[in-house]
Amino acid sequence: MTGVVIVDNGGGNVASVRYALERLGCRAQVSADPAVVAGAARVVLPGVGAAREAMRRLAAAGLDRLLPSLTQPVLGICLGMQLLAAASDEGATECLGILPGRAERLPGGPERPVPHMGWNQLEAPAATPLLAGLRPGDYAYFVHSYALPVGPATIATCHYGLPFSAAVSHRNFHGAQFHPERSGAVGARLLANFLALAGPAWS
108 part of the interface to another protein, by CB under 8 A: yes
Residue 43 CB, nearest approach to another protein (Å): 20
Q: Is the CB of 21 or the CB of 70 nearer to another protein?
A: 21
Burial (CB < 10 A; 0-12, 13-18, 19+), residue 80, is: buried
184 part of the interface to another protein, by CB under 8 A: yes
179 part of the interface to another protein, by CB under 8 A: yes
Taken in order 178, 11, 144, 55, is the CA torsion positive or negative? negative
187 part of the interface to another protein, by CB under 8 A: yes
CA distance 152 to 156: 11
- Residues 123, 136 contacting (CB under 8 angstroms): yes
- Kindly tell me which residue out of 88, 154, 183, 193 binds another protein, with binding defined by CB under 8 A: 183
CA distance 187 to 1: 25
Phi-psi region of 182 (alpha: psi -120 to 50; beta: other; left: phi over 0): alpha
Q: Is the CB of 129 or the CB of 184 nearer to another protein?
A: 184
> From the centroid of its chain, how far is CA 153?
13
13 part of the interface to another protein, by CB under 8 A: yes
Active site residues: 78, 179, 181
119 part of the interface to another protein, by CB under 8 A: yes
- Kindly tell me which residue out of 36, 38, 41, 143 binds another protein, with binding defined by CB under 8 A: 143
Q: Considering only CA atoms, which of 37, 83, 41, 42 is closest in space to residue 177?
A: 83
15 part of the interface to another protein, by CB under 8 A: yes
Can you give the length of the chain in residues?
203
Query: Residues 51-90 vs another protein: string with x where CB under 8 A?
Result: ----------------------------------------
* Contact residues: another protein, CB under 8 A: 12-16, 19-20, 22-23, 48-50, 108, 111, 113-115, 117-119, 139, 141, 143-145, 179, 181-185, 187-188
